[in-house]
Amino acid sequence: MSESAAPGFAPSNGQVKTFPVRLGEDVRAQLDIIAQLNDRKVTEEIRLAIEAWIEKTKSDPKTLQRADAVRVEIEREATTKRNAISAIFDGPASKAKTTSAGRAASGKEGAS
């Protein structure tokens, strides 16, 4: 059985990435039989199983709770990084350089 992508399979983002999976002989033999019975390639059976598992996981309460916690952490880290960038580039020294450059460009440098 060939293990190329199924005809007509088009990923949502236009890219296909290879993902090697190590299986024991017994699991691989079962997978080969299932693919043969369903008249599909082994790769298609694996892709369908992964897609089904992802859909199941999306509605798992524990996964949803963990995802919310991860979102909060991502937002906290993003806020910290935004504040750090602001402190570096929007601080008094940065504002003085911007103000001096603005005055020089308008011809008002040293006119205070």
**pLDDT tens profile 39-97:** 999 999 999 999 999 999 999 999 999 999 999 999 999 999 999 999 999 866 655 55
24 and 50 assigned to the same domain: yes
Q: Does residue 7 lie in a domain region? A: no
Lowest mean pLDDT among 34-43, 75-84, 99-108: 99-108
- Can you tell me the mean pLDDT for 14-38? 94
Report if residue 12 sits inside a domain: no
End-to-end CA separation in angstroms for the chain: 83
Residue 77 belongs to a domain = yes
Identify whether 68 is part of a domain: yes
Of 13-17, 60-64, 78-82, 102-106, the least confident = 102-106
Same domain, 38 and 65: no
Residues 6 or more apart whose CB falls under 8 angstroms from that of 4 comprise: 41, 43
- Kindly provide the b/e burial profile for residues 28-46, where b requires at least 16 CB atoms within 10 angstroms of the residue's own CB: eeebeeebeeeebbbbbbb
76 belongs to a structural domain: yes
- Is there a single domain that holds both residue 76 and residue 41? no
pLDDT at residue 2, as a whole number: 42
Q: Which residue has the higher pLDDT, 106 or 39?
A: 39
Please give the tally of structural domains in the chain: 2
Structure tokens at 58: 């999306």
Give residue 16's pLDDT band: very low, low, confident or very high (50, 70, 90).
confident
Residues 44 and 66 in one domain: no
6 in a structural domain: no
Does residue 25 sit in the same domain as residue 51?
A: yes
- Domain interval for residue 91: 61-105
pLDDT category at 15 given cuts 50, 70, 90 is confident
